[in-house]
């Protein structure tokens, strides 16, 4: 029984997100917007972590900047554009769907189809 | 024949990557490209040693903005090159921005490694860092007489970078009207 409980606890354990130990904005609607934006951006000094999850000092600075911009009344689009202008499109967790970034979305699909084709061919040959 | 396909694909990919890696980087000093380059330097609000908030003023002079910290090991080499650069161009304005560090540790470090900076600033909340798209330390920005960023160096200045890019660039920018 103890093992069962421990296993369940381990399975439902979630990472402790960095945002919880920073000063949130007073306005909860604004803080919700901030957190949504934190999940839309990458931490630029980490390996594949969202801005929401990183403890890195630069990530803290970036989150501080986002909160300040929300309080100053800037829109989500303006905030994202601010970071793209400084860090490039790769700062967005979900690259926009346009001609320049089309391959990012399509390439995995193409590779999957290509691999599946080769696999089918190989198994049929037997 | 199709059994050679994976091998051929691998070979083609290897050739493509080798070609890309062996490209010699071309520097036309006046046409360098990169993030933040050719952009007007954004207004930077920095903290002076006494804690007061001030906006960085360029006053129409060629400036190198250098982010550093006492805990940054790569900054030691970068700093040595910065010293050499300042000796080569005494008219060059060097703005040092200590990022994520304390005044006392910064002062200690500068006493140990020498201080070539015209001013030392403290980017306490990292606003200047984010405003300039900083990715790490050390990081430097060369700004011309019109407040336009002409070079963004993410990483330490090596002797080669100083010789091949920084010195020629600063020389050229000083000649510019």
3-state helix/strand/coil string of chain B? CHHHHHHHHHHHHHHHHHHHHCCCCCCCHHHCCCCCCCCECCCCEEECCCCCEEECCCCCCCEEEEEECCCCCHHHHHHHHHHHHHHHCCCCEEEEEEECCCHHHHHHHHHHHCCCCCEEEEECCCHHHHHCCCCCCCEEEEECCCCEEEEEEECCCCHHHHHHHHHHHHHHHHHCC
A62 neighbourhood in chain B, CB within 8 Å = 126, 130
pLDDT given at position B62:
97
The encoded tokens of residue B114 equal 């020498």
C-alpha radius of gyration, chain A, whole number: 20
For residue B153, which of B34, B53, B63, B60 has the smallest C-alpha distance?
B34
Q: Are strands B119-123 and B93-99 parallel, antiparallel or unpaired?
A: parallel
> What are B20-48's pLDDT values in tens digits?
888 766 567 777 767 788 889 999 999 99
**Farthest-apart Cα atoms in chain B, separation:** 75
Closest residue on chain B to A45 (Cα): B135
How many angstroms separate the CA of residue A81 from the nearest CA in chain B?
A: 12
Say yes or no to pLDDT of A20 above 60: no
The parts of chain B modelled with pLDDT lower than 50 are none
A61 neighbourhood in chain B, CB within 8 Å = 100, 125-127, 129-130
A88 neighbourhood in chain B, CB within 8 Å = 35
pLDDT given at position B26:
59
Whether residue B20 contacts residue B13, with contact meaning beta carbons closer than 8 Å, is answered with no
Stronger pLDDT, A27 or B34, i.e. the higher one = A27
pLDDT given at position B130:
95
Among A57, A68, A86, whose Cβ lies nearest the Cβ of B133?
A86
pLDDT given at position A19:
56
Helix (H, G, I), strand (E, B) or coil at A42: strand
How many angstroms separate the CA of residue B132 from the nearest CA in chain A?
A: 6
A71 neighbourhood in chain B, CB within 8 Å = none
pLDDT given at position A106:
84
Tokens 């001013």 found at: B119
Tokens 């919700």 found at: A32
pLDDT given at position B18:
92
The encoded tokens of residue A119 equal 């696999």
Average pLDDT, integer, range A68-93: 93
Using a cut of 0.95, tell me whether the model's pTM lies above it: no
Say yes or no to pLDDT of A15 above 70: no
pLDDT given at position A117:
92
Give yes or no for a cis peptide into B138 (omega within 30° of 0).
yes
The residues in A 39-98 lying below 8 A from B, measured between CB atoms, are 44-45, 57-58, 60-62, 64-65, 68, 85-88
Q: Taking CB atoms and an 8 Å limit, are A45 and B135 in contact across chains?
A: yes
For residue A22, which of A59, A69, A50, A60 has the smallest C-alpha distance?
A60
- What totals of helices (H) and strands (E) does chain A contain, helices first? 5, 0
Q: Taking CB atoms and an 8 Å limit, are B127 and A44 in contact across chains?
A: no
pLDDT given at position A16:
59
């Amino acid at each position: 029984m103890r093992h069962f409980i421990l296993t369940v606890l381990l399975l439902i354990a979630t990472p402790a997100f960095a945002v919880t130990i920073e000063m949130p904005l007073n306005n909860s609607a604004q803080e919700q917007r901030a957190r949504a934006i934190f999940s839309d951006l990458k931490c630029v000094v980490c390996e594949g972590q969202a801005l929401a999850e990183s403890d890195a000092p630069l990530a803290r600075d970036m989150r501080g900047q986002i909160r300040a911009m929300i309080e100053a009344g800037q829109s989500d689009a303006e905030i994202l554009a601010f970071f793209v202008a400084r860090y490039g499109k790769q700062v967005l967790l979900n690259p926009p769907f346009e001609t320049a970034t089309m391959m990012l979305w399509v390439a995995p699909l193409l590779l999957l189809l290509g691999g599946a084709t080769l696999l089918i061919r190989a198994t049929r040959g037997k | 024949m199709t059994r050679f396909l994976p091998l051929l694909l691998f070979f083609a990919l290897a050739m493509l990557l080798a070609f890309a890696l062996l490209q010699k980087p071309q520097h036309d000093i006046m046409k360098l490209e990169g993030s933040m380059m050719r952009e007007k330097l954004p207004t930077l609000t920095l903290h002076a040693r006494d804690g007061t908030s001030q906006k960085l003023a360029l006053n129409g002079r060629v400036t190198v903005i250098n982010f550093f910290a006492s805990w940054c090991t790569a900054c030691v080499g970068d700093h040595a090159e910065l010293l050499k650069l300042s000796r080569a161009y005494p008219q060059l304005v060097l703005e040092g921005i200590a990022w994520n560090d304390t005044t006392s540790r910064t002062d200690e470090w500068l006493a140990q490694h020498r201080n070539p900076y015209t001013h030392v600033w403290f980017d306490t909340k990292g606003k200047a860092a984010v405003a300039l798209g900083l990715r790490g330390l050390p990081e430097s920005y060369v700004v011309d007489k019109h407040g336009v960023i002409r070079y963004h160096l993410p990483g330490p200045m090596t002797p080669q970078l100083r010789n091949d890019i920084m010195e020629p660039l600063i020389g050229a920018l000083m000649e510019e009207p």
